[in-house]
Every structure is written in structure tokens, then in C-alpha cells.
Amino acid sequence: MTTARTPTRNRGNRRAEILDAAARLFAARGFHGVSIEDIGAAVGVSGPALYRHFAGKEALLAEMLLDVSSRLRESAAAVVTSATAPAASSAETLDALLDAQITFALEQPALITVHDRELGNVPEPHRRRIRRLQRLYVEEWVTVLAELHPGCPAARLRAATHAVFGLLNSTPHSAGELPARDMRPLLRAMARAAVDAAVNAR
Amino acid sequence: MTTARTPTRNRGNRRAEILDAAARLFAARGFHGVSIEDIGAAVGVSGPALYRHFAGKEALLAEMLLDVSSRLRESAAAVVTSATAPAASSAETLDALLDAQITFALEQPALITVHDRELGNVPEPHRRRIRRLQRLYVEEWVTVLAELHPGCPAARLRAATHAVFGLLNSTPHSAGELPARDMRPLLRAMARAAVDAAVNAR
DNA sequence: TCGAGATGTTAGTCATCGTTAACGTAACCG
DNA sequence: CGGTTACGTTAACGATGACTAACATCTCGA
């Protein structure tokens, strides 16, 4: 519990440390169920110290969600654009998208949880930007799925995408059931099968 | 918007009306993001009137979750026991479980949402009972899945069950994307495929 | 008719919470 | 050195919110 390490402590890490602790707390008890004092205590400082790093509680949440949604979106964009150069099959691109999302869900369950629960608590300037990024991320998936099965209406593909996210983001609920080593292939297999079933019309 | 109908108004309905409104509000803004005043306003009375019907805010939540989890559990028990009499295949039993859960998710999205987010806010006497019912519900599924593929370890089946719940409960997120008429078969197909993929070892 | 019970209302309480203010201190830089 | 910057502290302030108290009203059964 001795927090100090060097006289000049963890310099830029405080912000990240706070964001990390806040994510876990928000995921566990919800945005309004966590106080500024709680977050401070989780990183070893107390209360109003957070205002040295963030403009306020909502700003903290906004930055957190903005970071998550842009990271997701960027990872998807990277996968898709890098795949267009060679004649990569849409199926392979989809697998890459799946793997990226699975990695994120397994490594950052708290962030994933907060990301799809707490958007409503972000004030309006940033709210729109986050929604936009989320929409772009979904559309990335929809585009790939559309190539996989051109006849399928976009609404159905969107619904299927959300369903797959629901499946993959269930990770926090089954925490501890299965080690990540087994969880990853299980989720991959289930998600792939679900996507195929959705895309192959009935 | 004229709320009165007969002089002797909706007698026993007030409680149900309150629970319904509270479920929607909790789903949208989280337990701590909703005030007693908000819930009262949603049913046309104001504030402390709720204490004529519930002991408090937490008691209201407890009753809501207890009701949901026992209804789910009962529906699953009914499906399973009614299926054992004839030589119903496990696959058919699983389909019945799936359909029941899909119906619930499509008809009561708010309840489903609150059910897997807000357990942490239920005080301890009831918390245990709700957890117990949830566990029994999951075990009902696991039992059926185990018959479907005896070699599969129970932990894997449990994880798969949670993943399927995640898929089916994604309904609130894709609200409006697709009409329920199309949503139901889509969810059914995706869930069935996901279950098969999970159970057939790799 | 009248008293009881069920169901509201408004006004107040007490705790909690987000945020600001005022103040320390240690490192760095001229 | 001396002063700025970065980062903390504790003490308030104001708002909100859960819950209680005191007080109507309406329906109904004896």
C-alpha cells in the first residue's frame, strides 16, 4: 500500500488510472451509483482531487466513452481497409472483425459494459459524437455482412449485428465460468454460427 | 389523458402500474438515475404516494426482480417437465426454452434489461433469493444442453447459455430496427445456430 | 350516518453528492 | 534562490433525493 515509488511519481498515468478505476465502478454500480469520493478512494486520493484531471463527473464519463467508441471504430476501419487491398474474402474480414471485438470484450469487460449502458448520461456536446462513432462501427459490420449476402435487407443485418454484440458482450456475466483461453474459441464459434444463420435468409 | 374511468378506480392495478413505469425508467436511466418523484409522475401521482404501495425504492426493485426471475424460472420448469412425459427430444425442449425467452425479451424489454443490470441494488434478504432463481433458470438450460451433447463440460454449457441470453436480450438495443414479426425468427435462427456451435465440440 | 380504510396531497427532515474555495507542498526552471 | 506548475488536502455550499408527518378525501360496510 505504499503508493510512492519515485519522488516524481507516475506522471501522466493518473488520468488513465482514474479512468480505469471509474470504469470498473461504473460497470459494477452504474454511473449514478458511484460518487466522486468513491472513484478517488479507488486510486488512493480522496474526493475533489479528481478535478485536477477532469472537468467533472460527466466529462470523465464522456472521455471514457469517446475513447472506447473511437478505439472500436478505428480497429474495425483498420481491419476493413487492410483487407481490401488483396482479394481477401468477406468471410475472412468478418473473422477479423469478430476477433477484434472478442479481444476487446475479454480484456476490457468493464469498458464494454459501460459503453452500452451509460451513453444516456453523457451531456449533449459529446453524446452526438459518441453515437456517431458507434453508428460507424455498426455500419462497418453491416457493410461486410452485406458483401457476404447481397440479398439481405440492411435492417436485418443491423439487427443481427446488435445481436452478435450482445452475445460477445455477455462476457462480464459469465466471468469466472470459463478461462479466457476457452472462452475465446467458444465465443468465436457461436458468433460465427449466429452470423451465418442470420445472413442466410430463411 | 383523462386518467379516471370509474369513481372506484383501477383498484389493485396501481401497484402493477407503478412497477411497469418504474421498470421502463430504471431500464432507461438506471436505478440511481430515477427518483421516487419521477416514478410517481410517470403514473400520474406525485412523489411520496408510492409509499402507500411499497416500503421503499429498494423494496420496489426487489419485488420487480423477484417477479421476473420467478416467472422466467417457472416458464422454464413448465417447459421441461411437460416435455419429459412423452419422448420429446431434447432439441424440441430447447426450442421451447428458446421461444419462451424470446417472447419475454420481445414483450418485456425493460424488465429484461433491469433484470440483468440492477441485482446489485437489491438489499440482502431478497438478493439471495433472486440469485437462486436465476441460477435455477440457467441450470434448467444447462440440463437440456447436457442431454443434447453429453460430453460437454458443464462450465462450457453455462458460458454458452449466458452468451445466448446476451444475444436474445440485445433486443432493447436494436429496438425499431426490425419489427417484432421479423425479429422473432431472426433471433430464433441465430440462437439455435449459436447453441449448436457451442455444443458440438471443436 | 358514520367511522374506518385506502389512497392522495404538501411541507419538512436529514443525508448524500457534485462542485468550488482556500490552502499546503514538492519538484522544476530561470 | 524565488516563483511557477502540478497535485493534493480539508472545509464549505447548494441541490437533490429518500423518506416521514400531518392532513384531506373518497368509498364502503355496519
Give the CATH number of the domain where residue A167 resides.
1.10.357.10
Average pLDDT, chain B: 91
Total tally of structural domains belonging to chain B: 1
Does residue B28 form part of some domain? Answer: no
Beta carbons of B120 and A191 less than 8 Å apart: no
| B31 found inside a domain | no
CA distance A2 to A5: 8
| Residue B112 resides in a domain | yes
Number of helical H runs and strand E runs in chain B: 8, 0
Q: Does A191 touch chain B (CB under 8 A)?
A: yes
| Dihedral angle over CA of B61, B66, A34, B33, nearest 10 | -30
Quickly state the pLDDT bin for A49 (edges 50, 70, 90): very high
| pLDDT of amino acid A201 | 64
User: Whole domain around residue B186: which residue ranges?
Assistant: 57-200
pLDDT value, residue A12: 67
In a domain, A33, yes or no: no
pLDDT in tens, B87-139: 568 889 999 999 999 999 999 999 999 999 999 999 999 999 999 999 999 99
CA terminus-to-terminus distance, chain B: 58
Contact residues, chain B, for A155 at CB < 8 Å: 177-178
Quick check: is B30 in a domain?
A: no
Establish if B160 belongs to a structural domain: yes
- What confidence category does residue B153 fall into, taking pLDDT thresholds of 50, 70 and 90? very high
Average pLDDT across chain A, whole number: 91
Look at residue A8 and tell me if it is in a domain.
no
Note whether A193 contacts B189, CB cutoff 8 Å.
no
CA distance B195 to chain A (A): 7
Is B145 within the bounds of a domain? yes
B92 Cβ neighbours under 8 A, 6+ residues apart: B83
Distance of alpha carbon B100 from alpha carbon B92, whole angstroms: 12
Distance from CA(A104) to C1'(D6), angstroms, rounded: 33
Would you state the pLDDT for residue A173?
A: 86
Mean pLDDT of B137-154: 94
Nearest C-alpha neighbor of B112 from the set B68, B160, B70: B68
What pLDDT sits at residue B97?
97
CB contact under 8 A, A194 and B193: yes
Is the pLDDT reported for residue A28 higher than 90? yes
Q: Which helix (H) or strand (E) holds B40?
A: helix B36-42
